[in-house]
Structure 1
Amino acid sequence: MTHYPLIAPRPPKLSEHLDALRRVEQSGIYSNNGPEVRGFEADVTERLFGGAGASLAVANATLGLMIAIREAATPRFAPGALALMPALTFAATAQAAEWAGLTPLIADIDPETWSIDPDIEERLLALHGRRIAVVVPYATFGNAIDLDRYAWLQRRYEVGVVIDAASSLGTIDAAGKGFGADAPFATVFSMHATKTFAVAEGGLVHSGDTGLIDRLRAMINFGFQGQRSATLPGLNAKLPEVLAVMARAKLEEIEAVCAGRAAVEAAYRDALGDRFMLQTPLGTRRAIQFMPVLLPEALAGKRAAIVDTLAAEGVGCGQYFSPHLGEQPWFRDTALIEPTPVSDAVAGRMLSLPVTDAMTADDARRIAATLARACDAQAGTAPTAAYPTAPAIASLLVIGGGPAGTALLDAATKRGLLPDLAASGLVMVERDTMLGGGRLGRYGINSDSTAETFLSAIKDNVHPELADLIDHPAARDVARYSGALGVPLTVAGPLIRAMGERLGSLVERHGGTLLTGHEAIEARQTGDGLWNVRLRRLADGAEIEQRARHIAIATGGHQPLDRLAQQQVAGAPLVASAGDRLIQSDEVLGVDGYARIADLLGGKRDPRVVVIGGSTSAIATIALLLKSSPAIPWGPQAITLLHRRALRPFYPTPEAAHEEGFTDFGPDDICPVSGFVYRLAGFRLEARELVLRMMRVDGRTPEPRVRFHRIAGDDAEARGHLAEADLVIAAMGYRPRVLPLSDANGDPIDLAAHHDAAMVDKHCRIVGADGQPIANAFGIGLAAGFVPWGPMGGEKSFVGQANGLWQWQNDVGLMIVDQVLGQSARAVA
């Protein structure tokens, strides 16, 4: 039986290069960029990169990544700076970023090329802005990814770029050049014994920017430039002369090696392509290290058995990269991880087949046939994709696992009730691949909750898994805003996701069920007092019905377009007044919203904007317009706020208000529990400061680019502002996303939320249009319309809806938990 090892290292034999070794001995130079290293660098630049740019030999590729990442990140290097990279790469990519002082930001991949998804990449660059100090794409399995696009990203976002091309030395791009030639950033290659360019150990950094290579050369020599005095961050990463001898020898044979491996890859593709999913190749030739292939989805659960069968047939097999970065324990605790559904699926089905210098195309065809037989043997017993085991009747089915849904779980932890809630038959339904996602982290504004509020959810939590998050990078990022006017939601979002992931693990450990990647379509009452909830799995559209004693809708809010058609402002229909100049604030507040506004107003010499509304989102919209960059040339009073109700600032005590000369409040405006003035109606943090300025409280100077105008009935002045505006932004709050509910006869239930009323009552119960609560149905979250009462506090004068993460994570969430567990206990009794 012929044996095919996955990897068969074949570096040059030193015994065949005695003359070169004698040359090293005679020179008396064994390291420190000696003649062999310099000769190799010049030769490899000429032969693999067409003489363009310069190359730097390093002791290994990980050290090369470390110095290149650190150098590229320098303009944005600061505590909490991020290195954006794909999930499907080797641990060295993320480790190098961490050793360089950055936090890895791990993102999902494209389903065809298996490189970082370009749309996600650009979304995250817009989302995190200057916090991303460097982008570190991986040239997956030797693929020649589009470096021109990364040069554009480097210019567009003024961000550092370093290409991890560990397996690509010898790859040729689509233009027929060596991969990395002419690129304005560093491309880092490995010369490890297991790579196609096999030496023993070593790496190579190439760039079209010779000045960059000069800086990196100093950095690998302790940061010395010229004299022995550190002027740059540095370490010792120099390649020894003996290894340079081997590298020069390998360079002589690399063309033949790559050509042979390319023939093996072509044979694999011909034999496997009709049955297995293969990576889309990029470039004209890959310096392929092994052949990656995805098992059919139905056989993913049988991968271990297939690997054992291949081994018994003499075929070595690997699983690069499974687990991917986002699944590895160290990075789960130290990195920021985006949802990675494609990486999860690809890593879960990945096999790596042998490609060695000794193999032929016939060998590849024989291995492909062996793989096919192994899969056929397992096909009859392969499990089909099934739903996770869920209770026949859930005690509570929570629809939505974003900030509000996870806040309910966090509230349960505050009284040690999460284990009981989970064990009673809790089912969480979430469209995303993990709990804690939602849209909160995709807004480009600051929170109206403090950093301390976000951290209170985990600090000293009874569950160590949550308490330990206080040292997670996401929590440290939030903590940096302690005492500030809120937290950027792009910073708060990763902490909510990290909490959601751990809360989900706690739910499952204590007997609850997570149905991530699912959506609820509708819920119908049954004759026996239960709910039948129809669920759809997003991956394949499969549907089930889940019965539940209670449901909780935590699906957030939105700004429906039909509301604009009915809106009257200053005595005239808003749509008629604003026409095609009208947009909603939710479009502005997203991370790419300001760029859209800048485009809409581009070319206007004196742009005029009207914002309509008296909510936090209205003030947040104005703050975003004022502080974002590149700045729009706002003139005096260029931004007008039209509002109906008086704008109220929050104060911690009546005395604090009086000290600043603010007296526009009475006894009904003071919370009887906390003593706060306008506890619910008052603007806080960044919005509060703008309101106080515009009201000239305590001698504050109004923002000259803004004016506030309170609408009074048929208001001609307000209509004039609307007529003059280049853009009108409606910031009229949010309405809840309400799941369709029907009664036991299948007839739709008319809800109060359908008529612009609050979705829930004082007990968080969903309310019908008749004002009566719907049995065993709860709501929580943005736009639910809950108003605190009794021991929860709040001023008597408050009108409207109260939305607050702290409330959801405490009294509001516990109100639902207590009702569910109380009824469950009575049912058991």
Structure 2
Amino acid sequence: MKFIDLARGYERYGGEIEEAVVRVLRSTRYILGPEVAALEEELARFVGVSRAVGVSSGTDALLLILKALELPPGSKVITPSFTFVATAEAIRRAGLVPHFVDIDPRTYNLSPEAVEEALRRHPGEISAVIAVSLFGLPADFEALERLSREYGVVLVEDACQSFGAEFAGRRSGSFGRAAATSFFPAKPLGGAGDGGMVFTGDEVLAERVRALRMHGQTRNYYYEYAGINGRLDEIQAAILRVRFRHFEEELRLRERVAGKYRRALADIPGLVLPHVPPGYRSSWAQFTVRVPGRDELRARLSERGIPTMVYYPHPLHLQPIFRDLGFGEGSLPETEKAAREVLSLPMHPYLTDEEIALVAETIREFYR
């Protein structure tokens, strides 16, 4: 059993993918050609925004958004500590300062109450909020959009794990001033390498991101911004267009797997299943449970050949690279507790009933 079985996906769509790759190779248009343009148009329509800009990775999508926003240098950006390092890394690379706040223990996303407390305690210091839609579940954007308006800060969605998810009838990627997603192979919509996209309804911001991904160039060899080489390759775009044709079916298959896990793991004392509040649709990037004694359970699953992952064992506020920010142990209690207890089980659209049953029975045996 594999944690994420990319080979099964290739078995399904490999022929289509190879045709698309060969088409690009024969075209000799390898950078920012018709495949990227078509993918941008298709995904913008799917998300429900007017602009999408293909870039080199989800990390670069976040960085380019922050650079395009032209926030005050050295200002603080609220973000969770319970996330992949790229979120806070992009803040630092943009010349800004990460300001970590705690999470909602049920969803693992930013706690709106914690965000509001930080905004009240640091008036004038905070310029933006980056809300991560973790494990495929959107953050509480109803509350976060209200807070961003009330306190005059910019809201950005880190949708790198949640493409295809929904909240209140809107798709992940449509929230805030702009959103970033990732096409890393293990994501819900994954390519065959790195890639990402910026979504926004702000035409000026989109054009600035387009310039920034090309070294800041606004016309041939004329540079208005300090940009990066952040372009999406044509081959990746062509592969993603194939995968996107099957994306709705894959979302339904992910929901099927999550539903089977829920039924098979119900009523195990102490085991907390993923929480999807009313009005939300998760894209199920991960199926993450939480339990005291996580490491012992993980060892038992490993003995049975069942791979698991821990996202994330070391919160960012306790990492050496962010030690200078002054967050000590105990400063974000819900984040630190989640880091000790979460465990992600094998999750992909092609898990069989037998594999799900093996995972569930092994967990039940452990608790018996």
- Give the alignment's TM-score, normalised by structure 1: 0.42
Contact 1:105 1:336 in 2 (8 A): no
2:156 equivalent to 1:162:
yes
- The match for 2:73 among 51, 73, 78 is 78
Task: Give the Cα separation in 2 of the matches to 1:325 and 1:292.
Answer: 19
User: Deviation per CA, 1:705-736, whole angstroms, max 9, x where unpaired?
Assistant: xxxxxxxxxxxxxxxxxxxxxxxxxxxxxxxx
Alignment of 1:168-247 (within 5 A): 168-175=162-169, 177-181=170-174, 183-200=175-192, 201-247=194-240
Amino acid at match of 2:281: R
Alignment of 1:95-106 (within 5 A): 95-106=89-100
Distance 1:116 1:95, change over 3 A: same
SS for the counterpart of 1:136 is strand
2:306 equivalent to 1:315:
yes
SS for the counterpart of 2:205 is helix
What's the CA shift for 1:347?
A: 1.0
Contact 2:163 2:173 in 1 (8 A): no
In the other structure, the counterpart of 1:124 is: 118
Amino acid at match of 1:374: F
Amino acid at match of 2:296: A
In the other structure, the counterpart of 2:315 is: 324
Task: Give the Cα separation in 1 of the matches to 2:19 and 2:352.
Answer: 33
User: Deviation per CA, 1:509-552, whole angstroms, max 9, x where unpaired?
Assistant: xxxxxxxxxxxxxxxxxxxxxxxxxxxxxxxxxxxxxxxxxxxx
User: Deviation per CA, 1:247-304, whole angstroms, max 9, x where unpaired?
Assistant: 1111011111111011111122223342311232145432212210011x3x3xxx33
What's the CA shift for 1:334?
A: 5.0
- The match for 1:149 among 135, 139, 143 is 143
In the other structure, the counterpart of 1:42 is: 41
Task: Give the Cα separation in 1 of the matches to 2:266 and 2:317.
Answer: 29
In the other structure, the counterpart of 2:288 is: 292
What's the CA shift for 1:209?
A: 2.5
4+ residue runs over 6 A deviation: none
What's the CA shift for 1:144?
A: 2.1
SS for the counterpart of 2:132 is coil
Alignment of 1:548-559 (within 5 A): none
Amino acid at match of 1:88: F
Task: Give the Cα separation in 2 of the matches to 1:78 and 1:284.
Answer: 35
Task: Give the Cα separation in 1 of the matches to 2:172 and 2:73.
Answer: 31
2:295 equivalent to 1:304:
yes
Contact 1:9 1:198 in 2 (8 A): no
Contact 1:60 1:202 in 2 (8 A): yes
Amino acid at match of 1:239: L
Distance 1:335 1:255, change over 3 A: farther
Task: Give the Cα separation in 1 of the matches to 2:326 and 2:233.
Answer: 33
Task: Give the Cα separation in 1 of the matches to 2:326 and 2:190.
Answer: 31
Task: Give the Cα separation in 1 of the matches to 2:303 and 2:361.
Answer: 14
In the other structure, the counterpart of 1:256 is: 249
User: Deviation per CA, 1:164-196, whole angstroms, max 9, x where unpaired?
Assistant: 111111213231x42233x35111111101112
Contact 2:156 2:176 in 1 (8 A): no
Task: Give the Cα separation in 1 of the matches to 2:95 and 2:353.
Answer: 45
Distance 1:354 1:17, change over 3 A: closer
Task: Give the Cα separation in 2 of the matches to 1:273 and 1:340.
Answer: 29
Amino acid at match of 1:248: R
SS for the counterpart of 1:264 is helix
Task: Give the Cα separation in 1 of the matches to 2:344 and 2:173.
Answer: 25
Amino acid at match of 2:88: A
Contact 1:106 1:335 in 2 (8 A): no
User: Deviation per CA, 1:551-588, whole angstroms, max 9, x where unpaired?
Assistant: xxxxxxxxxxxxxxxxxxxxxxxxxxxxxxxxxxxxxx
Task: Give the Cα separation in 2 of the matches to 1:204 and 1:263.
Answer: 27
Task: Give the Cα separation in 1 of the matches to 2:129 and 2:259.
Answer: 31
What's the CA shift for 1:38?
A: 0.3
Task: Give the Cα separation in 2 of the matches to 1:149 and 1:210.
Answer: 25
What's the CA shift for 1:18?
A: 4.7
Contact 2:136 2:286 in 1 (8 A): no
SS for the counterpart of 1:260 is helix
Amino acid at match of 1:346: A
Task: Give the Cα separation in 2 of the matches to 1:227 and 1:58.
Answer: 19
In the other structure, the counterpart of 1:53 is: 50
- The match for 2:88 among 94, 97, 101 is 94
What's the CA shift for 1:37?
A: 0.2
Distance 1:184 1:344, change over 3 A: closer
Contact 1:262 1:285 in 2 (8 A): no
Question: Where does structure 2 lack aligned partners over 5 or more consecutive residues?
Answer: none
Task: Give the Cα separation in 1 of the matches to 2:322 and 2:364.
Answer: 35
Contact 1:104 1:335 in 2 (8 A): no
Task: Give the Cα separation in 1 of the matches to 2:26 and 2:326.
Answer: 48
Task: Give the Cα separation in 1 of the matches to 2:144 and 2:207.
Answer: 22
What's the CA shift for 1:152?
A: 2.5
- Give the alignment's TM-score, normalised by structure 2: 0.90
Question: Where does structure 1 lack aligned partners over 5 or more consecutive residues?
Answer: 377-829
Alignment of 1:375-386 (within 5 A): 375-376=367-368
Distance 1:242 1:229, change over 3 A: same
Amino acid at match of 1:339: S
Distance 1:219 1:310, change over 3 A: same
SS for the counterpart of 1:130 is coil
Task: Give the Cα separation in 1 of the matches to 2:44 and 2:315.
Answer: 33
Task: Give the Cα separation in 2 of the matches to 1:174 and 1:364.
Answer: 30
User: Deviation per CA, 1:767-787, whole angstroms, max 9, x where unpaired?
Assistant: xxxxxxxxxxxxxxxxxxxxx
Task: Give the Cα separation in 2 of the matches to 1:364 and 1:22.
Answer: 37
Alignment of 1:345-384 (within 5 A): 345-361=337-353, 363-376=355-368
Distance 1:285 1:363, change over 3 A: farther
Contact 1:184 1:208 in 2 (8 A): no
What's the CA shift for 1:375?
A: 3.6
Task: Give the Cα separation in 2 of the matches to 1:273 and 1:100.
Answer: 44
Alignment of 1:126-141 (within 5 A): 126-141=120-135
Distance 1:237 1:165, change over 3 A: same
Contact 2:132 2:138 in 1 (8 A): no
Contact 1:69 1:134 in 2 (8 A): no
Contact 1:58 1:64 in 2 (8 A): yes
Work out which structure has the larger RCO, using CA pairs closer than 8 Å and 6 or more positions apart in sequence.
2
Distance 1:155 1:38, change over 3 A: same
Contact 1:291 1:352 in 2 (8 A): yes
Contact 1:184 1:209 in 2 (8 A): no
